[in-house]
Chain A
């Protein structure tokens, strides 16, 4: 086989099972690809030696016809997942040198199933950002470029290392997390598939917390089948996370290819926002036509509180982050800046360790939770959150799944949007509602912009109905036939 890194996860799995290739060969090819792609800055930590050891152990199992569903398959891990004895930074200076003495449940599930770890992927600091520009380790560069331009573009965020690494074939698939769109928007910007499952589907244990009532893990992959395979391994009940849900994990791959005939696909009219580029609107319409041609029925629905989702998010998420990030104190792990007393030590450590966006969100959260403001901000936001969730419940009386654009634009240039926090927040306008309501959603690449950049469409499903989501996404993927790929310009 010519270039093993261009295989899909399913393709590599089948080739390994058929003994056409070994995991050592496959892993070696990815180690080389990582090495040649340093300019993209997708990895914070590469674990090549560990990967080759894991591959050898997988080969020993595969040779005997044994092994789990992901046996010998090399993956990238977002640096928000704690990995035992391997540097885990969350993209922050404040976690300098932190090597967890434990493994996150999601990554432990992947290793249980035989997967191989290539390294830890870059992300926005503590997952706070939509462009991967807030990482202490520097921005990730999108493997995609505009037609006829070599301007550096963002890969989306916060899971920008994950989306770039999959798009550039630096790993077969990657783990990611999504608090307001951090799986789906980067997937849309890089021509990859990203699924955020229902809140509670994957354990949050060992994932560095940002906003606990919104955070959820999921994969970024080459295609819908790979997403189904990855989610099947990542998901499951975990007694260490009291919000993880105790219900069986279905065989997600089995639903792919099932007909969408008669499926009711809702189109929320509030997602037709002012100033949305015509090409995004056109892509959305094409998506409806593809589904109609496959036998689905298009239904108009209304989600009247959509415009309040971002303001709600920017109360709830900072409030929870100000509480979660209180643990970074310069005493227990990571960076420490000495001070004249204990309070000064805390204040100097946190001033030096957190970047501007994280400081901003901690301070907003501290303010909205402070005495006298709790009811006006936090309580109010939690009430509006109930209304947003009710909007979806009402819509699902008329339809089975919703179709929307994933993001209001294609990938933008590094530095183009970072000056204005609010402008940056608007990237999540179509994705953030889903986190507030706890629903599952998936982004699928559906076409190219006029400048030759990938654009995604999003499906939003009912609670714990990832199967309908994957089945519909697969039908769209079949119709869209998205085959474009970035040229390997970084391999020089």
Chain B
């Protein structure tokens, strides 16, 4: 599987990273070299092998479903590049 420039443009859009047209050929080359490298996994027979979902076998802990935190509006927005009255400010989304 190799990616062309249109695919790179589509991935960049999915990843929400602006990419200029003149960057596409180099990016396609880099992504293809990495995808070529990982392609060797195709050699491994994984029939019937369970995919690993946890690095260490542990049972997930359960906790009571109660409120443990809250009222941190000031802390939460303290680092926002733009905020107003405890809310984030973004460009208009709804006309």
When the two chains form the complex, which single residue of B43, B46, B82 contacts A383, counting CB atoms closer than 8 Å?
B46
The answer to the question of A300 belonging to the interface, with a C-beta cut-off of 8 Å to chain B, is no
Q: CA A370 – CA B35 in complex, angstroms?
A: 14
The answer to the question of A160 belonging to the interface, with a C-beta cut-off of 8 Å to chain B, is no
Chain A residues lying within 8 Å of B18, measured Cβ to Cβ, are 344, 347-348, 350-351
When the two chains form the complex, which single residue of A348, A351, A359, A463 contacts B56, counting CB atoms closer than 8 Å?
A463
Are A380 and B88 touching (Cβ within 8 A)?
no
The answer to the question of B66 belonging to the interface, with a C-beta cut-off of 8 Å to chain A, is no
Are B44 and A387 touching (Cβ within 8 A)?
yes
The answer to the question of A332 belonging to the interface, with a C-beta cut-off of 8 Å to chain B, is yes
Assuming the contacts A101-B78, A351-B19, A386-B49, asked whether A311 and B55 have C-beta atoms less than 8 A apart, the reply is no
The answer to the question of B50 belonging to the interface, with a C-beta cut-off of 8 Å to chain A, is yes
Contact flags B46-61 to A (C-beta < 8 A → 1, else 0): 1001111111101011
Sorting the interface of chain A by its residue count into under 10, 10 to 19, 20 to 34 or 35 or more gives 35 or more
Contact flags A419-458 to B (C-beta < 8 A → 1, else 0): 0011001000000000111100000000000000000000
Are B56 and A246 touching (Cβ within 8 A)?
no
> What is the distance, in angstroms, from B44's C-beta to the closest C-beta of chain A?
5
Contact flags B16-58 to A (C-beta < 8 A → 1, else 0): 1111000000010011011101111111101001111111101
Are B56 and A422 touching (Cβ within 8 A)?
no
When the two chains form the complex, which single residue of A307, A333, A354 contacts B17, counting CB atoms closer than 8 Å?
A354
Chain B residues lying within 8 Å of A389, measured Cβ to Cβ, are 52
Q: CA A340 – CA B93 in complex, angstroms?
A: 11
Are A200 and B81 touching (Cβ within 8 A)?
no
Q: CA A15 – CA B10 in complex, angstroms?
A: 61
The answer to the question of A213 belonging to the interface, with a C-beta cut-off of 8 Å to chain B, is yes
> What is the distance, in angstroms, from B8's C-beta to the closest C-beta of chain A?
7
Assuming the contacts A343-B16, A346-B16, asked whether A199 and B55 have C-beta atoms less than 8 A apart, the reply is yes
Contact flags A233-246 to B (C-beta < 8 A → 1, else 0): 00000010011011
The answer to the question of A290 belonging to the interface, with a C-beta cut-off of 8 Å to chain B, is no
Closest to B43 in A: A308
Are B90 and A342 touching (Cβ within 8 A)?
yes
The answer to the question of A331 belonging to the interface, with a C-beta cut-off of 8 Å to chain B, is yes
Contact stretch, chosen from A166-174, A249-257, A360-368, A470-478:
A360-368
Q: CA A373 – CA B1 in complex, angstroms?
A: 10
Chain B residues lying within 8 Å of A381, measured Cβ to Cβ, are 38, 41
Q: CA A322 – CA B40 in complex, angstroms?
A: 22
> What is the distance, in angstroms, from B62's C-beta to the closest C-beta of chain A?
10
The answer to the question of A379 belonging to the interface, with a C-beta cut-off of 8 Å to chain B, is yes
The answer to the question of A413 belonging to the interface, with a C-beta cut-off of 8 Å to chain B, is no
Q: CA A409 – CA B54 in complex, angstroms?
A: 31
Chain B residues lying within 8 Å of A22, measured Cβ to Cβ, are none
The answer to the question of A395 belonging to the interface, with a C-beta cut-off of 8 Å to chain B, is no
When the two chains form the complex, which single residue of B31, B53, B61 contacts A360, counting CB atoms closer than 8 Å?
B31
Q: CA A422 – CA B37 in complex, angstroms?
A: 8
Chain B residues lying within 8 Å of A101, measured Cβ to Cβ, are 72, 75-76, 78-79
Are A382 and B3 touching (Cβ within 8 A)?
no
The answer to the question of B70 belonging to the interface, with a C-beta cut-off of 8 Å to chain A, is no
> What is the distance, in angstroms, from B52's C-beta to the closest C-beta of chain A?
4
The answer to the question of A111 belonging to the interface, with a C-beta cut-off of 8 Å to chain B, is no
Are B55 and A322 touching (Cβ within 8 A)?
no
When the two chains form the complex, which single residue of B17, B38, B41, B56 contacts A200, counting CB atoms closer than 8 Å?
B56
Chain B residues lying within 8 Å of A482, measured Cβ to Cβ, are none
Closest to A365 in B: B15
Are B51 and A382 touching (Cβ within 8 A)?
yes
Chain B residues lying within 8 Å of A386, measured Cβ to Cβ, are 49-52
Q: CA A214 – CA B56 in complex, angstroms?
A: 11
Which of B53, B55, B56, B61 has the largest count of A CB atoms less than 10 A from its CB? B55
Are A384 and B44 touching (Cβ within 8 A)?
yes
Other A-B pairs, 8, CB within 8 Å; known A308-B43, A351-B18: A101-B75, A351-B19, A367-B3, A383-B49, A386-B52, A387-B46, A421-B34, A438-B55
* Nearest 4 pairs of A and B residues by beta carbon: A438-B55, A382-B51, A333-B79, A336-B81
Cβ contacts A to B, 27 pairs, < 8 Å? A100-B79, A101-B79, A199-B56, A200-B58, A239-B61, A242-B60, A243-B58, A308-B40, A311-B37, A311-B38, A315-B41, A322-B15, A332-B76, A335-B81, A342-B93, A345-B91, A350-B15, A350-B16, A363-B31, A373-B1, A377-B38, A379-B51, A383-B49, A383-B52, A384-B41, A386-B49, A421-B33
